[in-house]
Structure 1
C-alpha cells in the first residue's frame, strides 16, 4: 500500500521555522561527554520532550551516563524498528569557533565560508530556510537526526498518518567516549530493545548529497601512553637527563611507517579482503579522488576506499609535552603523553589488537604499567610506558544480501524522491553497532542524515537545514514503508 505524501510535504513546509526553533533548544544544551551534569540534564530534558510527544519513555541508568529509551506501539504492526542515535557530543573549545559560543547556534548560508559573518535565527528568511546551515556543537553529530525522528512522528500524528511498524528509540549518552557501558546496558535490557531491525542515523551522507546506506562500521580502540623521566621539568642547559620525548619518538616510529601504515606485529591478523560483492559496491562508489586531494591539500593513495573500509588504522590523535608558543621554555620536559586511536575492521577484536600493541611496546624494551594508580618506581623512570584511558568496542557488519537490506535501501530511495542510494559495505568511522549485531543478533544498517563535510568532531560543526528536513521525510518514509 503506497502513501500519498502530498499533505505531509505541505505541512512540513509550513512548519519549517517551528521545527528549527525547537531544534535550537536541544542544541543549546551542553551535553559534552566529559560534562556529566550536562549530559544527565540533557537526558532528562529529552525524556520529558519524548513523553510530551506521546512516546513511552524511560531514562536507563548505566555505570556512566544514562541512555534514553522511547517506544511507540502500533496496533496491528508485525515488525519492530529500533533506531539508535546519541545525544552526547565532543568537547567544543570556544576559541576555535567562529561564533561566541558553540552552544548558541548561529546561521550561515550553504555557500558561505565557515568564517563568514553569521546571523541569528530571526534573520533567516522562512521561504529560503533550506539554503542555510546551523552552526553548533552536536548539530550534525548526532542531535540533528534525533530531531528529525521526533519531528517526523509529530507530523505523522498531526496528519493521522501512523507508522506501520512498532517504533523504538535508544539514545546513547556516551558514544563520543566509546560507549563504555552500552554493551552491559544492551545485555540488561535485551527484551526492551528487542526488534526486527536496527537503524543507526549517525555519520555523514555521501558528498553528493545522495541517500546513503551502510552495512557496517569499524570498531575503535583508544588509549593514552605516558613516559616519565625526571621528577620535574629541568633547565635544558643546567641538567643532562633523559628526555622522554626522544624515547617516545622512537617508540612511535617503531609502531608505524611515515605514511601511517601500522608496523605492529600481528596487527592485521584475521583481516579479510573485500568479498566480490563488496568490491562491486566499491567500484560503484562515487569518488572524485583528485577533487578530494585538492580540497584536503594532500596526496591520497589509489586504494583510498579499500584502506578506509577494509584495513585498520593507527592514529596519533594528540601529543602533549613541555611548552610551545608564548609559553615556550628552555626545559627538558619530565613527562610526555600520546593519545592513540585504532579503527578496527570486521574479524578483529579489541582485546586481541590491544594485546598486540602491548606486546610490541614490551618488545621495544619498555616495561608496561596499566592504569593511573600504580606507582612508578624510580628504577623504571624513562623505561616504563603507562597505559591509561583504554576504551572502545568491536567492529560489526550485517550481510548486504539480506532481504531487509534491500527493503531499507528501497525505502530510503523513495524518501529521497527516487534518487539512487550510495550503498557502502562499511563505514570508515565507528559506532557501537556490535551491541545490536553481536548481543541482540539483529540486522543493523547505518542510514546517515547529516551532510558531508559537516565538521563533526571539529570546530564549526554545522548541519544543512535541507538535510534536517530531508531527515524528517526519511524517518516518516521508513516508518511507513517498512511495515507495508
Structure 2
C-alpha cells in the first residue's frame, strides 16, 4: 500500500479552502472590511463588459459584494498543480505532487509569517508530509480613505473631467507601493489610465487615444492643483 501524493496534496488544499473558495485558515483571513472601505466601494460595478468573464456569485467570502471580494478581502488560489503526467497518464501511483498557490491579501495580513502559519495548519491537520515553501512575497499597502490627499485628488480629477470619480482603497494587483507608503511614510495615490479591454499583459495590450488624452487632462489638472497652496493639503512645517 503506497501513499498517493496527489491525494494528500488535494486533502491539504481542501483543508485550507472550501468548495466555494472561502479561506478556512483563520490567520489568513482579514478581521473585517473597514467601514470606510465598504462605503467607498458601495455601488462600484465589477465586470459587465462584452469581453469580461461571467462572475460566479457564490465564489468567495459570503456576505460580501463582488467588489469587496475583489479589493477588500483575501483570496487563496491555485495557479498550477501537477502529479504524474496528465498528458500521458500511466497505470501507476505518482511519486510526487506539486502545487503553486498564491495568497492575494490586504493590509493587516501577517504575510511575513505565511510559511509558519501554513505549516502549523497542516501539522494540526496531520499533514506533516506536505512541504511548504514561500518563493516570492511583497507587502500590501493602503492609504487611508480619510487621508486629505484622497479627497483633494478626487475633487481635482472631477473638475478636470466633469465626471464622477471612483475611489478604490487599494489595488488588487502586485505593486511595490510599500516603498513609498511604509518606508518613506508617504500617502500614495495611483491614477490608472486605461480601460477594461486594454488586454493588459497580452500580445495586443494597447491604449486608446481618447483614454490617453483624458489621462493627460487628469494629470495636468493634478499637477496644476498641487501648486495651489490654498487647496492642496500640504503639511504645515513646525
Relative to structure 1, the CA distance from residue 423 to residue 257 in structure 2 (aligned partners, 3 Å threshold; closer, same or farther) is: same
Q: Which residue of 1 aligns with 2:80?
A: 318
* Equivalent of 1:464 in 172, 196, 207: 207
Matches within 5 A, 1:13-412: 241-268=2-29, 271-275=31-35, 277-285=36-44, 287=45, 291=48, 295-301=52-58, 303-325=65-87, 327-367=88-128, 383=129, 385-412=130-157
Q: Which residue is equivalent to 2:187?
A: 443
CA contact (8 A) 2:28 2:109 kept: no
- Distance change (3 Å), C-alpha of 1:261 and 1:358: same
- Note closer, same or farther for the CA distance 1:295–1:475 as it changes in structure 2 (3 Å cut): closer
State the alpha-carbon separation in 2 of the partners of residues 300 and 454 from structure 1.
25
Q: Is the 8 A contact 1:319 1:339 kept in 2?
A: yes
Provide the secondary structure at the position in 2 that maps to 1:362. helix
Q: Return the alpha-carbon distance in structure 2 between the equivalents of residues 317 and 335 of structure 1.
A: 18
What's the secondary structure of 1:314's corresponding residue? strand
Unaligned segments of structure 2, at least 5 residues: 59-63, 229-238
CA separation of 1:293 and 1:478: change in aligned 2, threshold 3 A? closer
Gaps of 5+ in 1: 1-239, 368-382
Structure with higher Rg: it is 1
Q: Is the 8 A contact 2:119 2:132 kept in 1?
A: no
1:284: Cα distance to partner? Answer: 4.0
The answer as to whether partners of 1:293 and 1:299 remain within 8 angstroms in 2 is: no
Distance 1:350 1:455, change over 3 A: same
For 1:293 and 1:363, locate their aligned partners in 2 and report how far apart those are by CA, in whole Å. Answer: 46
TM-superposition CA deviations, 1:107-150 (whole Å, max 9, x none): xxxxxxxxxxxxxxxxxxxxxxxxxxxxxxxxxxxxxxxxxxxx
Q: In 2 relative to 1, CA 288–394 (structure 1 residues): closer, same or farther, beyond 3 Å?
A: closer
Q: TM-score, normalised by structure 2?
A: 0.79
Query: Distance in 2 between the 1:298 and 1:400 partners?
Result: 27
RMSD: 2.7
Ranked by relative contact order (alpha carbons within 8 Å, sequence separation 6 or more), the top structure is 1
- Corresponding residue pairs, total: 222
Q: Which residue of 2 aligns with 1:454?
A: 198
Give the distance between the partners of 2:101 and 2:223, measured in 1 at CA: 39
Note the alpha carbon deviations across 1:381-404, whole angstroms, 9 max, x for none: xx3x33335321222211222322
Distance of aligned partners of 1:402 and 1:389 in 2 relative to their CA distance in 1, 3 Å threshold: closer
- Which of 396, 400, 424 matches 2:168? 424
Aligned mates of 1:244, 1:279 — CA distance in 2: 42
Distance 1:272 1:448, change over 3 A: same
SS state at 2:99 partner:
strand
